Amino acid sequence: MRLESEVPQKSYGLVTRWLILAALLTIAPLTLGQNARNTDSIRLATWNLEWLRPEFRPNSDLRRSEQDYQALRKEFIRLNPDILAIQEVASEEIMAKIAPSDQFQTILEYRDSEQRAGFTVRKNIPWKRHSDVPLDLGHDGLRNGVHISLMSNGHPLHLLSVHLPSGCHDGSLAQEKTGCLRLKRLVSPIRDWLLTYSRNGASAIILGDLNRRLKTEGEFWKAISQGYEITSPTLNKNSFCAREIHNRHKSRLLIDHIIIAGTFRSPPASEHVWSEAVGKNSLLSDHCPVYIDFSLN
């Protein structure tokens, strides 16, 4: 399926660059909040929107108000993505509260679920949808991957939005923990997808919430990269997302990632963050978006 409709030309305002804590890092940080970019570039991002559904979290009295949705929409506009891999989104209709439906098309997993992966894409970018990639391991509570492709520099660029199982952020995949057992079973399908769609000049990119901290010497990274070259601009990178650090204080390493195979050469990744005050006053998300900018030509 290809989109034909056009959207108005974008204008890019300069946003103050974040210089928080750079001197304190022992692990190389992401570039923070650099939202301004060249007008001929494409912004490719990923964002877990934390239970984006009317009821918000299960077993909780918390509900997102219209003010919360407006705050999410404001951050979406600040992020200014062209292609956004999304996770934990219940429907196209609720995503339209954040991404203007006259300018963006949302694609979600085919199966019915309140935590679906997918993409939100500007309507002036042509793309093709492929079959969803089975990553749910036959479990209703897990998610499949959503696969789209477009052309970049004359070659196919395949994108896969994923939300992998939780419960195995670090350590050995052989741990007798449900999350680790599940993640171990997904190594082969993830490797196979990257290898299959990065042949003959094509490139493959996985984006999303991996629920795993990626380190060069980490077992999961070694397992998916064994035997061929893949890269990641989010490997070994810290997060400065206020709620991310609060909820996962044992480590600042990202769990949201961009993984690349093929001829595509990735620029450095950046993280879009909001102030701690904004995070406290609005029900945004427990994840901040991560993105890269590149040219399709």
Residues 6+ apart with CB under 8 A from 90: 52, 53, 54, 113, 114, 115, 116
Q: For position 40, what pLDDT does the model report?
A: 79
Tokens coding 41: 């570039």
- More confident call, 280 vs 218: 218
The domain defined by 26-294 folds into Deoxyribonuclease I; Chain A (3.60.10)
Tokens coding 255: 């769990």
- 237-255 pLDDT per residue, tens: 999 997 654 454 467 899 9
- Banded pLDDT at 76 (limits 50, 70, 90): very high
Ranges of beta strands (E only) in 132-241 are: 146-152, 155-163, 203-209, 230-231
Domain ranges in the chain are 26-294
194-199: average pLDDT: 96
Pairing of strands 104-108, 42-52: unpaired
- 97-110 pLDDT per residue, tens: 999 999 999 999 99
- 255-278 pLDDT per residue, tens: 999 999 999 998 999 999 998 888
CA–CA distances in Å: residue 63 to residues 23, 51, 58, 259, 276: 38, 11, 10, 33, 20
- Banded pLDDT at 221 (limits 50, 70, 90): very high
42-52: average pLDDT: 96
Q: For position 59, what pLDDT does the model report?
A: 76
Tokens coding 211: 């629920």
Give the residue ranges of DSSP H helices in 28-177: 66-79, 92-95
* Bridge partners for 47 per DSSP: 86
> Is the predicted pLDDT of residue 206 greater than 50, yes or no?
yes
Strand ranges of the sheet holding 290-294, from the earlier edge strand across to the other edge: 31-32, 270-271, 290-294, 42-52, 83-89, 116-122, 104-108
- Banded pLDDT at 24 (limits 50, 70, 90): very low
* Bridge partners for 206 per DSSP: 160, 259
- Banded pLDDT at 230 (limits 50, 70, 90): very high
Q: For position 29, what pLDDT does the model report?
A: 46
Q: For position 179, what pLDDT does the model report?
A: 96
Specify whether the CB–CB gap between 48 and 244 falls below 8 A. no
121-141: average pLDDT: 96
Q: For position 37, what pLDDT does the model report?
A: 63
C-alpha–C-alpha distance, residues 166 and 72, integer Å:
24
